[in-house]
Structure 1
Amino acid sequence: MAKKQARQSEKKSGGLEEALSIEALPITQGAHTFYVFVLDAKTLWSFVSISRRHDEKDEGYQRVLSNSRVDSAVKFIESGEPIPNSILLALEGATYNTETKKLVIPPGEDVGWVIDGQHRLAAAHMAAEQGKDIELCVVAFVDVDIQFQISQFITINREAKGVPTSLLYDLLKHLPGERKPAEIANERAAEIANVLRKRENSPFRDRIVVTSSPRRGSQLSITNFVRKLAPLVHPERGSLRVWTLQEQVGIIDNYYSGLKDAFPDQWALSENVFFQTIGFGAMMNIFEEVFASVFASKGRFRRSDVAEEFAKIASFDFKQWSSYGSGNKAEMEAAQDLRLDLSRAKAGDQSSPSIDLG
């Protein structure tokens, strides 16, 4: 078995030792001309470069390469399925000969930058290394600046109107052998994480990190977030599966906003337990019970409703969790602490006599 490709987080550099001549079709749209051609994955991968974005650096624009996404695409290619989507490039110093109808890419490093399609290209490259080199459709702009490249990247990945996720989920049942429910749950959980970490005024704003290690007590890794949220949005058995993406985002946002209001002293600490692995795990372990309780009594799940629920145990001692260690067992024990205190608080409310002083 071929060695698994390491996760790539830095810039990927490529180049040509000698000029590459390719038959291409020029297309003009508005003020821009681009070129369409076909090239095998092995050759394409060898000369392109990829500028990857960092959480802490104001440079690059591509996301970090996801091994799981690449591995999935490799299997897709090896099964004989087509990848008709094009790879979008920005070429440096290339020239087009109208007589020969060939695009000539000059020798050198960084002569071509990937604007869109890095995961497809990486998967095709890996498949080629394993003996299945496929041809890829390529669309290339020539001598465009970084602002233009970023503009194209944003347009493709954010502003272009996509198919509603709910429709994709509904259609997947007609494609036997496609993504498993667990994979769909992970994708939905990651989608929620990406919305929340960019959402203004969300307690998760800039607290879910994708490309770097989280700071203890102030950030969560997207892996940890997805680990705990995916079961809740599982398309077959998740308690939040009947809600839309927007509603799921709102529910989780309100849940943590309510915690912030109920436990302001804990939230103000530099090492906020709610953003430690044990704390986040515990809070998500009791989420379904809290959601059911609040929704049953209020018929809604607002931030204020969550705060009111947890205000019943406002004096809860979170320091005791520091001795629990880590792992699923510790998260379960911490959740049980919360569960017991909430149960006692509710029992106390129900047993307290009501006195009419009126």
Structure 2
Amino acid sequence: MTTSIENEIYSYTYSLVTQGDTKFYSLTIPSEVLAKTCFVTNRFDDKEEGFQRRLDKNRAQEIADYIDSGIGSIPNAIILSAQSEAEFTLKKGGRALSFRADPKAFLVLDGQHRVWGFALSQKTLRVPVIVYHGLSRKEETRLFIDINTKQKPVPSELLLDIKQLAETETNDEKIFRTLFNYFSENENSALRGLLSPSEKKVGKISRTTFNQAFKNVNTILGDQSDINIFHIFNNYLHAIKTTLKDDDNSLITTPSVFKAIISFFTDVAPRVKFKYEGDYSTDNFISVLHPLNNINQNHLLKNKRTYTKIVDILNQSLSKNFSL
């Protein structure tokens, strides 16, 4: 690699890649050079030709902090389209390309937050890049669409499932994982056979839904042991299924209904504690939940777009008919 700062011309060796009728160049460029030569055009500021989303500074800062921590690497290639301002040139007789260090040299098609994160970082890295040359704006936009629709992201359920292996779980995630496993494995579990640990499945409660639901009640769990938390919530869920007559599990496996049911625990538990001196048995939960017997399942399901509305329905019924 040779660099001529005074003339603002940068040269790097490359590999030519051909895929069908398409050609592009694979190389690495220092992060500080990318910061000087890349730009984005978003849909909000340029309604005529913009196609990117807005830049999120917090996301870029997270990338910068990750780089500065020295704990990992970001091997994904930044995808660029050379603009006329780059004066993009292939050197004769060699395997090098050159471009002018202009702020509008390269339009970022994929990786805008990484480019910004690299710019915010205290370190200078060699960054893998893919450079297209000679694309029209229509071709750039179509390539952007292909990149963002053909690549399927890793399910959040799988990422949560493998965080233990990566040793990156938060304390809450460890608690939720342990609780999820209890509900998966215990023979008396109210959710036995209804959980899906690493992917979304119809008729199953995903790990993501499970964690989101229990995050809503995490602050009231106190110093209870994991196994005690399981037994209390297991008794509660058995009582809920009995009271709402959810024999086919169609209610409890609806994500918004499950979140609502878990959130509703904060309204039910104090009543059980007061009426039965903290004996959280299934029968005592059923006794307290008795006012919900007449709730129509369809009434809950038609409000499944927002779990908070379902919580309101449950709470209104309980408060209206509850007696000590």
CA contact (8 A) 1:251 1:301 kept: no
CA contact (8 A) 1:71 1:123 kept: yes
Q: Is 1:97 aligned to 2:91, yes or no? A: yes
SS at match of 1:234: helix
Q: Distance in 2 between matches of 1:180 and 1:108?
A: 47
Of residues 67, 73, 83, the one that matches 2:57 is 67
Q: Distance in 1 between matches of 2:133 and 2:99?
A: 10
SS at match of 1:174: helix
Of residues 132, 135, 149, the one that matches 1:144 is 135
How far is 1:340 from its partner? 6.8
Of residues 305, 321, 324, the one that matches 2:300 is 305
1:230-269 correspondence runs (5 A):
234=211, 237-238=214-215, 251-252=255-256
Q: Distance in 1 between matches of 2:139 and 2:82?
A: 12
RMSD: 4.7
Change (3 A) 1:51 1:299: farther
For structure 2, list consecutive stretches of 5 or more residues without a partner in the other structure.
Answer: 1-5, 177-207, 219-250, 269-288
Change (3 A) 1:288 1:30: same
How far is 1:41 from its partner? 0.5
* Partner of residue 124, structure 1: 118
* Partner of residue 54, structure 1: 44
Q: Distance in 2 between matches of 1:180 and 1:69?
A: 22
* Partner of residue 169, structure 1: 160
Q: Distance in 1 between matches of 2:150 and 2:252?
A: 22
Of residues 10, 30, 34, the one that matches 1:40 is 30
Q: Give the structure-1-normalised TM-score.
A: 0.50
How far is 1:97 from its partner? 2.5
How far is 1:285 from its partner? 8.9
Q: Give the structure-2-normalised TM-score.
A: 0.54
SS at match of 1:38: strand
Q: Deviations over 1:222-276 (max 9, x none)?
A: xxxxxxxxx97636933799xxxxx999744x99xxxxxxxxxxxxxxxxxxxxx
Change (3 A) 1:79 1:144: same
Q: Distance in 2 between matches of 1:250 and 1:59?
A: 41
Q: Distance in 2 between matches of 1:337 and 1:297?
A: 16
How far is 1:149 from its partner? 1.9
AA in 1 matched with 2:214: R
How far is 1:135 from its partner? 1.0
AA in 1 matched with 2:54: V
For the pair shown, the structure with the greater C-alpha radius of gyration is 2
SS at match of 2:154: coil
Q: Is 1:289 aligned to 2:289, yes or no? A: no
For these two proteins, the number of residue pairs brought into alignment is 222
For structure 1, list consecutive stretches of 5 or more residues without a partner in the other structure.
Answer: 1-15, 186-230, 242-246, 256-283, 310-331, 351-358
**Quick one: percent identity of the two aligned structures?**
22
